[in-house]
Amino acid sequence: MKRIFFFIITNIAILLVLSIFLSLTGFTGILQSNGVDLDYDSLMLFSLVFGMGGSFISLYMSKWMAKRMAGVKIINEPSNEFEKWYFNVVKKHSQILGIKMPEIGIFPSEGPNAFATGASKNSSLVALSSGLVNSMNKNEIEAVIGHEMSHIANGDMVTLSLIQGIVNAFVIFFSRVIGHFVDRVILKNDRGYGIGYFFTVIFAQVVLGILASTIVCWYSRRREFRADYGGAQLTSKESMISSLRALERFSAAKLPDQMLAFGISNKGQTSTLQKLFSTHPPLAKRIQQLQETEIIAYTDEQQAS
């Protein structure tokens, strides 16, 4: 999926806009009464409020952003056999998981891809790429849908937002400490804040924000295993493994750049940098994990509900 990519990009953009706005308005509320030294208590409170606020704004914008950036065609009324099947599978999974049926859609992409996003379990979106629809059989597609539905049912986006909010708070705090140091020590400004402070804060916030995204990516990698397990519960271990093998066959070839950016797999590459910024574990590791795990399927009563 693409869900993490959309979330991180939106989050960084929101924080950047907030920083520019505060810089243009000459915000100095983090200074002590002498107008020179930092008030660390005020800065920590400011960082927490803006950090969590930026994260949850990103969460509530995630579905809107995903639709527009991926070009998702929403299916309100199924118009062909596949769309009817797709609708019924998502409806069935929603009933088993006890959540409101999400919006569903298809977006144009030659490669197999899918994502789920949304502000809550009951306000979500599941989207499949045209390449996935054309390259996988129905058992494999249903397993992919089950994987994405598990992300929704597990509340991954909300948990992700809490983690991102905390990370944001640290980014905001330390970017302003760095800006203060540059302004006071290097530029030797002893009143208010100069232009050097504002440029330093924005630059530091972008750099620290990118580095901090490795924490979000680490969380995402951990949650993929649980979503794979959920997909196997909703379908079967064999179907989930088969869908991952289909992705593995595709990723063994040269992927287009837009697919690499969304981290379906690491394409067999093992550099430390790529591992840090990968949102998904290697497909081979995910397959191995499923093979070694006993899957407890949903009960007949849950399947029939």
Burial 106-132 (b: 16+ CB within 10 A, else e): bbebebbbbbbbbbebeebbbbbbbbb
Residue 292 bears catalytic tag: no
Q: How far is CA 190 from CA 25, 37, 43, 92, in A?
A: 20, 9, 19, 65
Domain segments of the chain as ranges:
3-304
pLDDT tier, 256 (very low <50, low <70, confident <90, very high otherwise): very low
Give the CA radius of gyration of the chain.
Answer: 22
Q: How many CA atoms lie within 13 A of 96 on its CB side?
A: 22
Name the phi and psi angles at 271, rounded to 5: -65, 150
In whole angstroms, what is the distance from residue 76 CA to residue 103 CA? 8
In 7-93, DSSP assigns E strands to 73-74
Name the average pLDDT for the chain.
Answer: 83
User: Are residues 146 and 234 in contact, defined by beta-carbon separation less than 8 angstroms?
Assistant: yes
pLDDT tier, 254 (very low <50, low <70, confident <90, very high otherwise): very low
pTM: 0.80
pLDDT at 4 over 70: no
Query: How far out from the chain centre does Cα 85 lie?
Result: 27
The lowest-confidence range among 47-51, 52-56, 260-264 is 260-264
Task: Choose the catalytic residue: 140, 142, 148, 224.
Answer: 148
